[in-house]
Structure 1
Amino acid sequence: MAVLKHGPVVPQVESLLRDRLRDGYWTPGERLPNEVQLAAEIGVGRSSVREAVRLLARDGLLDVRHGSGTFVAEPPPDSPGVHRLLRRARLLEVYEVRRALEVEAARLAAQRVRPEDIGRVRAGLCKRQELLGAEPAEFVDADLAFHRSIVELSGNALLLDLFAAAEPVLHEAITEMFRHERELPDVSDAHADLLDALERGDADAAVAATVTHLEAIVSEIRTAVSGQ
């Protein structure tokens, strides 16, 4: 039985199944165990498995054939272009979620941050900057840790729960972005501006820095999608 962390289940099940597909645990055309079997193996409810499968089918990784079962999707002949388009479409969704969560978190954090909190946030930003150019997963770990610290400073437990629920999907999608996308904008200045806004307690500036960071990436992805 898989060991899941505390928190929302569907993102964790999706991530687990996605890892298995990427690692070749099931081969293209192979039928997956049914919902009951997967749910029992992973230790979750059938509805969680069903939703995770739906998300993977939406991304073109699974083929749900009603009455027959769920199969690993066969790579299409133009696989690289199709997969690139799907990946970029997913990234747009990821950054929509990030904007919904992190803009409000930044505003609240600027209003509620204490002087003794700034050192911890600055250390997190320094680690992020040190890992620029490192292995993507390692850099994304540091990047999301920095942003998680700001969500924590918001003092809003629900925002933090939502961020924690989205984090596995964010991590995977952003790691893939750094592995496959070229000429991504350097948003280091926006991160430094966010830290400066928090230190000054300037909520408007914190929001502006967060929007600048996220919109710079979204603009690049939209341009890439439109030129696909």
Structure 2
Amino acid sequence: MNFPFQAVKRKQIADEVAEQLQRKIAAGEWNVGTKIPTEPELMKLFGVGRSTVREAVSVLVHAGLLEKKQGHGTFVCQPTTSQEPLDYRLSRAEIIEVYEVRSVLELEIARLAALRRNDEDLHLMRAALDRRAATLAAGDLSGYLDADITFHLAVAGATRNKVLTDVYGSFVEAIRKA
């Protein structure tokens, strides 16, 4: 059997800090125009170093959620959904919204995969389905979830559309967290 490598996702500390800051903004705890705590305050709140805080803030500045004003601090901006990274948008979405969009994507993914798949794709899908059945029979729900995700990502990969596969992968990760 020849299984291709898949990217391993390791959550970085700065990503976690950025997500927590983003959640405060999304939840309305920090309104537009609110000055966020200073770097030293954030370092103390999160128990992290300055570079971690700077990286997290930089991500949110780039996403259009925060604005740095030289000599005055960092402030919450009017967020625009089009600038917000997909992972962050999904993290604050209602689970039903994620499932609905995933359902729409899966229809087109299945159609394209049926047209473009090859024998290797079929082999990967079958192996994932077999593993899914075996883990379910063994009562291994975590293994079942992993195998199910592997199956759906194999179908997405069979589309030969890397952007579609990446977008779908973001949805899968949001559903895994839920």
Q: Where do 5+ consecutive residues of structure 2 fail to align? A: 1-9, 114-121, 132-150, 168-178
1:211 aligns with 2:127: no
Q: Is this contact kept in 1: 2:43–2:50, CA < 8 A?
A: yes
How far residue 170 of structure 1 moved from its aligned partner, in angstroms, is 9.3
Q: Distance in 2 between matches of 1:18 and 1:68?
A: 20
Q: Distance in 1 between matches of 2:125 and 2:93?
A: 21
Deviations 1:92-119 (A, max 9, x none): xx6xxxxxxxxxxxxxxxxxxxxxxxxx
Residue 81 of structure 2 aligns with which residue? 84
Q: Distance in 1 between matches of 2:128 and 2:99?
A: 31
Q: Distance in 2 between matches of 1:206 and 1:178?
A: 15
Instruction: Name the structure, 1 or 2, with higher relative contact order (CA <8 Å, separation 6+).
Output: 1
How far residue 37 of structure 1 moved from its aligned partner, in angstroms, is 0.5
Q: Which has the higher helix share?
A: 1
Residue 200 to residue 54, structure 1, CA distance change in 2 (3 Å): same
Residue 104 of structure 2 aligns with which residue? 184
**Counterpart of 2:164 in structure 1: which amino acid?**
V
Q: Distance in 2 between matches of 1:180 and 1:73?
A: 29
Residue 206 to residue 25, structure 1, CA distance change in 2 (3 Å): closer
Q: Where do 5+ consecutive residues of structure 1 fail to align? A: 1-5, 76-82, 95-168, 222-228
1:172 to 91, 111, 133: 91
**Counterpart of 2:104 in structure 1: which amino acid?**
L
Q: Is this contact kept in 2: 1:27–1:72, CA < 8 A?
A: yes
Q: Distance in 2 between matches of 1:178 and 1:214?
A: 23
TM-score by length of 2: 0.52
1:69 aligns with 2:81: no
How far residue 185 of structure 1 moved from its aligned partner, in angstroms, is 1.9
TM-score by length of 1: 0.42
Q: Is this contact kept in 2: 1:10–1:48, CA < 8 A?
A: yes
Q: Distance in 1 between matches of 2:158 and 2:89?
A: 18
Q: Is this contact kept in 1: 2:34–2:75, CA < 8 A?
A: yes
**Count of aligned pairs:** 126
How far residue 196 of structure 1 moved from its aligned partner, in angstroms, is 1.1
Percent of residue pairs identical: 27
